[in-house]
Structure 1
């Protein structure tokens, strides 16, 4: 018994030590001050309480770059200077303790905070401790919800919330998620916010038909059940739709950018207007109260980049509160107060009402009959791909920083860091960044930040691989392999390829390297020869790369990498000679391997069928490229043109680029491909690897011609004989799958006015159609928009080039060019197709999508490696089960590591993989000795056991709680379907 007590005491001491590693600022005067819900002003139960919320919405890049917005540069584009907003607000808050202000974008606040004196920082901390300055949302930015991947969203939220936690302690922790500007809202975002501990979620934009119905039914405030797999209420989130988007009521904007008259309260003046202002305000408050459920309403008093001169706002708001409340002595039942979203939320919770329940999402979003904001799902496809690739690079960088230890940031290749790329990726999640809705010079700035971050991470990767392999040979990175550019492989006769796999399971991956020789030998880490072939580079690839490379051939072979580890392959030039690949310009009847057969129409050269030879499934499948004629606004129904945000085709029938394709066939022992040319600006490679269960379609589109002065929106369409009944499925931010139905919305009777754009949805990583027998899944390599306009059909938008602005603020047509492509941007991407039985399809497309998001990283070393070089390594003791994904492995501080494990299957998806899974954290890593563990919420800013959220009552639905599965010990953790668990590990390098 004594030994057991000592062991328990040691464990408790260890856990306490870990707890202190979560940085929380301690404030001496915290007991005297009141923040959060305790700081809210009193309300009056018998009155209509109007919560005025002073706020500013500060885009982390849009019309100007992040730097330009912060400093107030380039005001010829837009007058906005965030540093002056924060200066002015802090000054005005000190003048009146009743005043309140909320701030959202930590990227800007962090920058401002670093430049303040210690006296100013103490002042701001006091304002925060007293609840007068409150942070809401708290992420590095306010992320987009359609085109972001959940892993990047979690990272950017963690970064912002960690800074607030370190700087302000518990009073800096936001209680409310605040997405007032994103253009539609994803269910997965609500699920993540719930798991991050937020009590509520407010946003401004909702479809005009949806809002109209909700206003009539008083359902603008609701309970969002954001997962069909996570037990309620763990993914339930109270959600409120704000009354004026995020602007003030009409006539009550008192910013220096506004034209509304101030409150003139000197009765001796001829233009005294207090009575008029009060009457107008009371009428607005009464009207608003009629479409909300409780005796509390909220008004957002601010807008884009407002409060640069906060005195204007606060002087008038002080007067408004005083004069409206003075009417109470004459019988008025309206009470106005300074408030915050969390204070408003608290009053709704106290009301103990039941709320409408929602289980779908808020896509697509339209603000009028012909104005669907579905174009940005595909806008700037090159930036969307670069962001996705940068996320993969960042996760690899984070992992190797942990596995390599201290040598990873300061090693033989110099000083490196992961922070630069973390911040760049965090900024890229902004709803005018990866969304593609920014000006061109801002898009260039986002890309530049990502490139700078990746350069810093390359040093970390090189140092870490040097420490793990024992080789300090210089490593080369080839960032343009998709267009066959890599100087070291083009010119070297002997080189090595290191393949690092960021997934927690082994992967097999096809490699294509540009070379100029014709016969090579490839050996794996054990010296065993690997089957390889050399084929000629296509004419399309030569055209795309232009003068950025000189290889005439490509070397093909397949690599295998262990979980969370690397394997090294040596490549040697044997001799020159004729290429071994057979090339033909005829249309093949079919290409096949032991898993799939792909058939072609001999007349058109197009795909005609797909067979799964394992399951004996066959479907008719045709695929081609089309373009929608973008509206220029000269239309009898509406003057709305297509633009960066809005997709509005001028016709419901797309134009086919070509009814036939010129073809070239390549057949080798490792790969077969059919190269198709549809036009000088549209081509494709249909590719089937020998050991692959999926079909690859590599498309190249651009420069999109605009000689006819018409914008074009280019799609690929897959037409099958699957009886899909107007239904298809898309993922939500890369996680849970949602059902979509043509011309249908689950929560209201849709009046469809745009048969194409109104049926487009965001596809973040995959989409599929199915019937009782067959399921065709398409995995994308970036976020794109798509729909199922006809039964058995799935179309995906690949590229857009538009000649008109859509009048949503960006004031610039989406007409992308670059230094390399001044005549118009060329974009290349991949779609992966799988054919399965519906009951088992998730077992294929879940890991396939995972590989598309976190792909292996290749590094190259010239010449012979040192004989003592370690050629293979795994950071895990064993691969994780198929249902478990290693979401996060990153350095938290000098002694701690942040770990996230997730169950990546929904509860209904897979007979084999939709069951709870248990993992042992002590037996997880091969190079880390885990000596302690404590669990956090999803955003890693609160201990899991301390996370307490408001409980809400849905209308006419009983709360259903599944029986909890207890973890057997502190080391063994159980993951249920769709569950993400976050841990802070005390870990030492072995």
Structure 2
């Protein structure tokens, strides 16, 4: 809001005025979150002028066009597509245009998903950015390789490649030609003493020639703009008019206002041969010792909140579609908030604290509106009394379940396949039971466990009621939970009554506690709280495994790079056990040890109980291990904080799994790219240049990579899988090890622009003293790990990634009478999807039509059968009342218009390259009737209509024009003569 009020509105006001003055001028504007606010404040006269400027290509809105310029390391690909699609839809609705150029100039490294799905996949002809590793940049500028073909998807190959350009000397103008600064104006009055047209021309020509010497072909572009410039566009355009005039008079260059669409077209027309890059650009380093791998974890609670909000958005969209509610306008605020937080200074955790609060507030407001939307849908189907979200149930907080002995639970399965889900609900009594009221579901087990509070000083529900339930695809069921009144318990007493388990009674073999179901078995050391063994019972695989909770101490010496919101720089490659630092932050002679906490209540209602055990590690870390029914993964709930800092040393906390005695990982770890394809990472290695590491600290930070949902290590026989609940940084610094950074608390700024220490705090209510207490942020999260065979490891990993992201929507209300138990049947039912196909997005378009995105869940060569092409017949998967699927139209991934023909589409991306092999590069196969074949890791969008052939008025306005004539970016195009 502050940016808009102080700068952005004046940028657009004055830029439009200046474009009208001179028909040669062009201007580019990118983020729709700002543009749409300005647009809706304009009257009809200004709107008419803007539409004409857009039509002429002089106001260029076809670059990027998303709601924001999203981060690339931390978002889930569904959120990336959603926010891009939202911006593109607004541009289509208002101007009838489709963006064709990617402009990701400021994210801190670039992901394979951005280079494939979010470039060619959304219709971009080219992608331009400004941040790559300084060593990579230094090599590329010498070899004229700053422009190239990026082909990061091994599954899609040439089908998803994109022409890519790294901007020379960052994305701002050449020094001295930034006309927003007073003193840089061109003085062309020969009667004045500071007249220096010749000097200005020479400087510009020299800069253009420098760029030309590092660029293939005869054309270079020079960006003429920067952060928050052009609030006085007259100053810029007046001086650029002069610059263009005098440089062209000089006759060494041909300079003109231009745009990236035109630049890309002339580059392609030159018929040059380009190198091919197949890996990604993670992590980014800007200098020696300056690896921007800290932000992969920064602000972990915001990262989780954004993930939850994104999932809620998808879930409520599904409800709208399944029950044909026609009320989806309530979701706009959540859609905008989820889109906005994907910003490269949002979800990344690299904003000021006040801005982080603002993101959270917007998400919360959007969730409140989504709750209203959900209840409007449920009202339509007969649920007259509203339900409530309980977003803090994982911290034992839920007003509905803790204030009512009987309450209703409504669960919507967001997966397009039958699933067994474990539901955990905070309750106040020691005994409870659940029964199905409406819908097709089977309760498989139920039990009550002691709940561990995030903050021991706060009063929360003392128990968790845990049950597993089998749910049909995209089904909605209502359950009734009844608590049986018993004496309450003081949670603080539970925690403080636990005793150190040492000495161990070896005679009875009590040194470990075992958790198991029919699929997995885990042994936990009672004295250390660490896993000792993990077994896959179905595959008869068992490995020794340990889990350490430790921290890196942040570098604090000298004037060089330091750990901050962006950067990660430890003071050495050494880690310290969390028991080394007390809650006061200063080690003492009597350090807190490890305490085992028995979570069993002794009142199990089912022999198939869900076993769990917890450990207090030192004074500020808790681990809770869980084995859930029908789950082949061990769940680990970790609680970290407050991180002690009274020793005046920043700390970056990790959980490290060590299987060095069983998995020979050959210096490799595999990390997901925005939850889509996995990237092979080799320790101390980069594919396109020889990585130079200057010390042991660099060897840690340079080997940290972003994970969005998962990572794994493997050898020829076994694979250790990890699934996480939010974006984090991960590394394998020794063979057989996999570590994840979960929390950071720092006392220095890294000098990248935040201007604040990453020292998050929170205010909690101390129920004993009845006062508010400010303390360091405490974070709770979940890991899921399993071991599998090398042949089948990706099946278990991919399946868990999908089910963990699309957790069921679970909402609550006080129990109501049975009057409305006969709820209305859904308009739409979904049958079991193929095991390698996911329903990524489903939303209502009109009375009879839906937009769906489908994802092939496996990359090429991940699994012998599941990586094969998958056939989807919509007429068999989607059933509606008294109707059939009558029309299937493939859309662009953003859903703005029908997909152009395959031949026309492929011709737009014809580039000569040094590598024309790179696998089979399977083409997308067209829709045939109601069926389509998805290739490995493909994500595609479709419009489904039911009943009679239906043509929506909005769709009739779609056209297939490529938008090649639409352009406009404030750039100088210099032709080297």
Normalised TM-score (structure 1):
0.87
1:691 deviates by 2.7
1-structure distance, mates of 2:53, 2:565 = 40
Q: Which of 19, 30, 37 is 1:104 aligned to?
A: 30
Q: Which deviates more from structure 2 when the two are superposed, residues 804-813 or residues 852-861?
A: 852-861
Unaligned runs of 5+ in 1: 1-66, 73-80, 410-415
* Alpha-carbon distance in 2 for matches of 1:71, 1:120: 19
Give me the whole-angstrom Cα distance separating, in 2, the residues matched to 1:965 and 1:284.
43
- The answer to which of 194-203 and 595-604 deviates more is 595-604
Give the deviation of 1:577 after TM superposition.
7.0
1:552-571 correspondence runs (5 A): 552-571=462-481
Q: Distance in 2 between matches of 1:787 and 1:529?
A: 39
Over 3 Å counting, the alpha-carbon distance change for 1:104 and 1:894 in structure 2 is: farther
2:309 matched to which residue of 1? 390
Q: Which residue does the alignment assign to 1:370?
A: 289
Aligned to 2:756: 812
Residue 903 of structure 1 pairs with residue 829 of structure 2: no
1:834-873 pair list within 5 angstroms = 834-866=786-818, 869-870=821-822
Q: Report matched runs for 1:202-217 at 5 Å.
A: 202-217=128-143
Task: Give the Å deviation of 1:936.
Answer: 1.1
| Alignment partner, residue 931 of structure 1 | 886
Q: 1:704 aligns with which of 643, 646, 656?
A: 643
Q: CA deviation at 1:619?
A: 1.3
Q: State the distance in 2 between where 1:650 and 1:854 align.
A: 39
Q: Taking structure 1 as reference, are residues 789 and 167 closer, same or farther at Cα in structure 2, changes over 3 Å only?
A: same
Task: Tell me the secondary structure at the aligned position of residue 251 of structure 1.
Answer: coil
**Structure 2: how far apart are the matches of 1:282 and 1:864?**
77
1:959/1:837 Cα in 2 relative to 1: closer, same or farther (>3 Å)? closer
Number of the residue aligned with 1:229: 155
Q: Which residue of 2 aligns with 1:497?
A: 409
1:917 maps to which of 870, 887, 891 = 870
Select which of 611, 618, 621 maps to 1:672.
Answer: 611
**Alignment partner, residue 827 of structure 1:** 779
Name the CA shift for 1:111/1:691 in 2 (closer, same or farther; >3 Å).
Answer: same
Q: Is the 8 A contact 1:560 1:567 kept in 2?
A: no
Q: Aligned partners of 2:116, 2:28: CA distance in 1, in Å?
A: 23
- 1:471–1:865 Cα contact (<8 Å) kept: no
Which digits, 9 at most, give the CA deviation of each residue in 1:929-981, with x for residues without a partner?
43323211111223212563231111142486656575573211111111122
C-alpha contact 1:307 1:313 (8 A) present in aligned 2: yes
Q: Give unmatched runs, 5+ long, in structure 2.
A: 502-510, 581-592, 765-772, 951-977
Alignment partners' CA distance in 1, 2:918 and 2:614: 55
1:567–1:872 contact (8 Å) kept in structure 2: no
- Residues 417, 351 of structure 1: alpha-carbon distance in 2 compared, 3 angstrom cutoff: same
2:2 alignment counterpart: 68
1:462 matched to 2:395? The reply is: no
Question: C-alpha displacement at 1:896, in angstroms?
Answer: 3.6
Q: Determine the structure 1 residue equivalent to 2:767.
A: none
Instruction: Tell me, in whole angstroms, the C-alpha distance in 2 between the residues paired with 1:477 and 1:884.
Output: 29
Contact 1:643 1:806 in 2 (8 A): yes
* Preserved contact between residue 613 and residue 624 of structure 2 (Cα < 8 Å): yes
Structure 2 residue 220 is the aligned partner of structure 1 residue 297: yes
2:57 is paired with a residue whose SS is coil
1:5-28 C-alpha deviation (Å, 9 max, x unpaired) = xxxxxxxxxxxxxxxxxxxxxxxx
List per-residue Cα deviations over 1:896-926 (Å, max 9, x = no partner): 4211111111121112211222222233333
CA distance in 1 between counterparts of 2:326 and 2:411 reads 20
1:730-784 CA-partner distances (Å, limit 9, x unpaired):
0000000010011000110000131111111001100001111111111010000
Q: Secondary structure at the match of 1:184?
A: coil
Aligned to 2:338: 425
Residue 116 of structure 2: SS of its match in structure 1?
A: helix
Q: What SS does the corresponding residue of 2:138 show, helix, strand or coil?
A: helix
Deviation digits for residues 655-714 of structure 1 (CA, Å, limit 9, x no counterpart): 111385221234564222221111221111111124321101100011111101111111
After TM superposition, give the deviation of residue 236 of structure 1 in Å: 0.7
Note the C-alpha offset of 1:368. 0.1
Pairwise CA distance, 1:558? 0.9
Is the contact between residue 252 and residue 260 of structure 1 (CA under 8 Å) also seen in structure 2?
Answer: no
**Match among 173, 179, 194 for residue 104 of structure 2:** 179
In the alignment, the residues of structure 2 paired with residue 523 and residue 227 of structure 1 have an alpha-carbon distance, to the nearest angstrom, of 47
Listed one character per residue, the Cα deviations across residues 256-303 of structure 1 (whole Å, up to 9, x for unaligned) are xx2552111111111111111111111111111111111111111110
State TM-score, norm by structure 2.
0.88
Residue of structure 2 equivalent to 1:238: 163
Residue number in structure 1 paired with 2:718:
774
Identify the match of residue 834 of structure 2 among 881, 906, 913: 881
Question: CA distance change for structure 1 residues 514 and 959 in 2, over 3 Å: closer, same or farther?
Answer: closer
CA distance in 2, matches of 1:343, 1:510: 54
Tell me if structure 2 keeps the 8 A contact 1:719–1:793.
Answer: yes
Q: Return closer, same or farther for 1:361/1:872 CA change in 2, 3 Å cut-off.
A: farther
Higher RCO (C-alpha 8 Å, min separation 6) = 2
Identify the residue that residue 254 of structure 1 maps to in structure 2: 179
Give the structure 1 partner of residue 729 of structure 2: 785
- Deviations along 1:122-175, one digit per CA (max 9) or x if unpaired, are 111111111111121000000000001100010001100011111111xx3222
Alignment pair present for 1:750 and 2:691 = yes
Aligned ranges for residues 707-746 of structure 1 at < 5 Å?
707-720=646-659, 721=661, 722-746=663-687
Q: Tell me, what secondary structure is at the counterpart of 1:778?
A: strand
TM-fit CA distance, 1:216: 1.3
Asked if residue 168 in structure 1 is aligned to residue 95 in structure 2, the reply is yes
Q: Work out whether 1:276 is the aligned partner of 2:204.
A: no
Match of residue 985 from structure 1: 944
Contact 2:749 2:758 (8 Å CA) reproduced: yes
Query: Could you list the per-position Cα deviations for residues 782-821 of structure 1 after superposition, in whole angstroms to 9, with x for gaps in the alignment?
Result: 0000110111111101001111111111111111113336
Q: Say if 1:88 and 1:311, in contact at 8 Å, map to a contact too.
A: yes
Residue aligned with 2:456, SS:
helix
CA distance in 1, matches of 2:942, 2:441: 39
**SS of structure 1 residue aligned to 2:349:** coil
Flag the 1:865–1:237 CA change in 2: closer, same or farther, 3 A. farther
Whether the aligned pair in 2 keeps the contact of 1:566 and 1:873 (CA below 8 Å) is no
Distance 2:836 2:918 in 1: 27
What is residue 655 of structure 1 aligned with on the other side? Answer: 576
CA-based RMSD: 2.3
Distance 1:98 1:959, change over 3 A: farther
The equivalent position to 1:448 in structure 2, one of 361, 364, 378, is 361
Pairing partner for 1:335 from 250, 254, 258? 254
- 1:342 offset after TM fit, Å? 1.3
Distance 1:956 1:406 in 2: 51
Q: Shift in Å at residue 465 of structure 1?
A: 2.5
Q: 1:679 to 1:604 in 2, by over 3 A?
A: closer
CA distance in 1, matches of 2:395, 2:658: 29
Distance 1:717 1:337, change over 3 A: same
2: distance between equivalents of 1:982 and 1:772?
37
Question: Could you tell me whether the CA contact under 8 Å between 1:503 and 1:564 is conserved in 2?
Answer: yes
CA distance 1:407–1:302, change in 2 (3 Å): closer
Secondary structure of residue in 2 paired with 1:658: helix
Shift of 1:476: 2.6
- Identify if the C-alpha distance between structure 1 residues 931 and 558 changes in structure 2 by more than 3 Å, giving closer, same or farther: same
Asked if 2 retains the 8 angstrom alpha-carbon contact of 1:408 and 1:467, the reply is: no
Q: Report the Cα offset of residue 493 of structure 1.
A: 2.3
Q: Distance in 1 between matches of 2:926 and 2:566?
A: 47
* Aligned equivalent of 2:896, options 941, 951, 955: 941
